[in-house]
Amino acid sequence: MIAYLIGLSAGLVPALSTGPVFLTLVQNSIDHGFKKAVYFIIGVALTDTSIILLTWLGLSQLSEGSEPPAELSIGGGALLILFGLVFIFKKPQDQQPATSSSGHLQKFGLFTQAIMLNAINPIIWGFWAAISNYAITEFNNTASELLFFAGVLNMVWVTDFLKAYYAQKLNKYLNEKFKKYLRIGIGSILVILGLKLIIEFYLL
């Protein structure tokens, strides 16, 4: 139980961060509503869990503290730029009700977007590798390590649901002009973060 509580505390770090995943989650919740944003959250949760398993089981060099592969920096930067440009040039949602098939495609798109955004982001890999290293060195049995991971992930999942829920609530107070500038602002931040990843790779 102590390991679980420590995990909850460690989970506050990603839970309170305002990185690309947070920005994209908030924007998707405003654009598509809480119920559809849940599919984005599920995609993030699935990827986080998979990365933890990879680093914890020693299937990634990141668990030994080495530098993330170059492909992650370049690919992650390019992906952030792409998502940023989509937000910047995205047109407002039309007010016509979506068909069942388009709704399913939208949910699948949000789920896939979350997986891509997480899986190819070296910052995400670096964080979960550090979490895995801490668990391995701090706890002396598998049960405690799993409880620690459960605490971290539970904190992240709960706060992600809260972020999406309250972002949707905020939506009704925003006019279309403000939402347009919000999309452009978030998109610009994602582009800058993507460029930062790529530039840092070539400079370091």
**Contacts for 165 with CB less than 8 Å, ≥ 6 apart:** 29, 34
Judge whether 80 and 64 are in contact, CB under 8 Å.
Answer: no
| Residue 64, pLDDT score | 47
Render pLDDT for 50-67 as a digit per residue (tens, 0 to 9).
999 888 887 444 444 445
Q: Which domain holds residue 33?
A: 2-203
| Residue 61, pLDDT score | 45
Confidence of residue 69 (pLDDT cuts 50, 70, 90): low
**Structurally, how many domains does the chain consist of?**
1
* Nearest Cα residue to 37 out of 170, 173, 185: 170
Q: What is the DSSP letter of 112?
A: H
Q: Supply angle C-alpha 57, 58, 61, rounded to 5.
A: 150
> The pTM is what?
0.81
Selected residue with higher pLDDT from 172 and 116? 116
Lowest mean per-residue pLDDT among 101-105, 106-110, 168-172, 195-199: 101-105
* Nearest Cα residue to 47 out of 74, 24, 70: 24
Render pLDDT for 132-167 as a digit per residue (tens, 0 to 9).
888 888 887 889 999 999 999 999 999 999 999 999
Taking the CA of residue 180 as centre, how many other CA atoms within 13 Å lie in the half-sphere pointing to its CB?
A: 6
